[in-house]
Structure 1
Amino acid sequence: MNRLPTLFVSHGAPTYALEPGLAGAQLAAFAARLPRPRAILVVSPHWMTVRPRVATTARPETIHDFGGFPAPLYELQYPAPGHPEFAQRAIDLLNAAGWPAQADPQRGLDHGAWVPLRHLYPQADVPVFQVSLPASLTPESALAYGAALAPLAEEGVLIVGSGSLTHNLYEFRMGQTEVLAYAREFEGWIRDAVVAGDRGRLAAALDEAPHARRAHPTTEHFLPLPVAFGAAQPPLPATVLRGEILYGALSMESYAFGDVPHADTASQACNGASR
């Protein structure tokens, strides 16, 4: 199998599970163009740990780690199997790269994993396992964390960083259709950095991008983006998977790093440039 691309997805609010919109359609079209992965590895901000942990669960449960949403969301299940062998491979790779990692035989799939996976692989027939997000990560070290996992993409594993391109919960307004200007400006700056393959800009994004601290008052939903970028091996094309900006400030844009067969979305070669 040729190397699979890596993927950053904006997983949105839990309601995204039932309301795919443009972003969900983009994910479905992306998955349809890929060779079938042997497994999927997901890094999500909803599993943060002091040191890296890797889910070795054979049958991960669906975790409904949210409150105050419509009842049908709590009935949804994503019964994909785990993949203990690839999970152990991830542990070995992290340890070899200086990230002491441990197995977690109980961990299920949080909504940062199963919500976007409902649109990528709705049949839940591809094995899935999660790798935790260390709480001490910075954008720079998140690039290295992703790079440690990169060999898995050569082995048929789809590496997914699941977060949110913008994530200011204080400014979300359910039903609001007018987009706040800062969210659009931040989204555009990140898109330009990603399409240029500019590792340095991405590492410095939370300091240099316009309105960065407003877009991300906390960093955990941004960090899966540099993880996914770091897991790719430049020079690679970056494909923009467009999504709406919902609730005034929640960008649903996603990115794929690597060759996407028969892609009909405009892409531009990453040149691996740094500042």
Structure 2
Amino acid sequence: MSPLFLAHGSPMLAVEDNDYTAFLRDTGAKLQPAAIVIFTAHWETDVTTISSKDDIYDTIYDFHGFPDELYQMKYNAQGSTQIAELVRQLLETEGIPSGFDTERGLDHGSWTILSKMFPKADIPVVQVSVNPYLPAEEQYRIGKALRELAGRNILLIGSGVTVHNLRALRWGQKEAEPWAVQFDDWLIGKLEQHALEDLFRYESLAPNAKVAVPRAEHFVPFYIALGAGQPDTAPRIIHRSYEMGTLSYLSFQF
């Protein structure tokens, strides 16, 4: 059950039908995980925090100004205290501090893509927070601590975006801005070269890094998913497209 980095882009993904949502549906249809562990860019904490509950999550509408139909959506997935405890134990083994949250619902970094991939909401979900202030090496180490999940048929998803700058969006523009493409091309090239040290130093080495990643919260799930992958497995691009000129839907399997 190879880890995935998936772009969650606009919340409208939950109600739209386009090439990317078709990709999400097709990908989910091919997978039968026992559980899902999802790191979401929309839950930030100082210490890695794991949702621990067995009942149904509330659906969090952490966005404003969208059509009413989006606020009527529910994704009634259940949690799993058993899987949450497994995640905690694996992190603890590697000396990574963590804690539990028993109340928080699923934010749109989780439910928008999961509603397309697994519309029946019949797979237990454990949501995990990110700390965007940790260096890339530490994000990778968090993922690496969870490599064992794949062998247990547990799907780890890093939910974020590689190029995410809301001030740089070009509304209605279908063609990607060259600088956004250049940043993603650099990432892909470094992955193909297995150049981890360069990837960790993206802020100083990648072209257009400051405009592509003005703040790291949407980018760090990429490193977590990358770290969770098996070192002898080549990363694979599973989708690439752009919306509004700069919003990247580049997604990987690790």
Task: Report the TM range for the smaller structure's normalisation.
Answer: over 0.9
Among 15, 40, 45, the residue aligned to 1:44:
40
User: Partner residue of 1:244?
Assistant: 241
User: Partner residue of 1:207?
Assistant: 204
User: What SS is found at the alignment partner of 2:181?
Assistant: helix
User: Partner residue of 2:151?
Assistant: 154
User: What SS is found at the alignment partner of 1:153?
Assistant: helix
> Is 2:43 the partner of 1:7?
no
Residues 2-54 of structure 1: per-residue CA shift (max 9 Å, x gap)? xx1000001001111112422222222223333x1110001011111011111
> Is 2:60 the partner of 1:63?
yes
Segments of structure 1 that go 5 or more residues without pairing to the other structure are 258-275
Is residue 20–residue 119 contact of structure 1 (8 Å, CA) maintained in 2? Answer: no
User: Partner residue of 2:112?
Assistant: 115
- Once the two structures are overlaid, the 10-residue window that deviates more, 179-188 or 159-168, is 179-188
The 1:238–1:28 alpha-carbon spacing in structure 2 relative to 1, beyond 3 Å, is: farther
Is residue 60–residue 108 contact of structure 1 (8 Å, CA) maintained in 2? Answer: yes
Overall identity of the aligned pairs, in %: 36
Among 70, 74, 78, the residue aligned to 2:75:
78
User: Partner residue of 2:131?
Assistant: 134
What displacement does 1:244 show?
Answer: 1.9
Q: Count residues with an aligned counterpart.
A: 253
The 1:112–1:208 alpha-carbon spacing in structure 2 relative to 1, beyond 3 Å, is: same
TM-score normalised by the chain length of structure 2: 0.95
> Is 2:12 the partner of 1:54?
no
User: What SS is found at the alignment partner of 1:132?
Assistant: strand
TM-score normalised by the chain length of structure 1: 0.88
User: What SS is found at the alignment partner of 1:237?
Assistant: coil
What displacement does 1:61 show?
Answer: 1.2
Residues 99-119 of structure 1: per-residue CA shift (max 9 Å, x gap)? 221111112111001111122
Is residue 131–residue 217 contact of structure 2 (8 Å, CA) maintained in 1? Answer: no
The 1:162–1:152 alpha-carbon spacing in structure 2 relative to 1, beyond 3 Å, is: same
Segments of structure 2 that go 5 or more residues without pairing to the other structure are none
Amino acid in the other structure paired with 1:62:
T
Among 65, 70, 94, the residue aligned to 2:91:
94
User: Partner residue of 2:225?
Assistant: 228
Q: Tell me the C-alpha RMSD between the 2 structures.
A: 1.4
> Is 2:121 the partner of 1:124?
yes
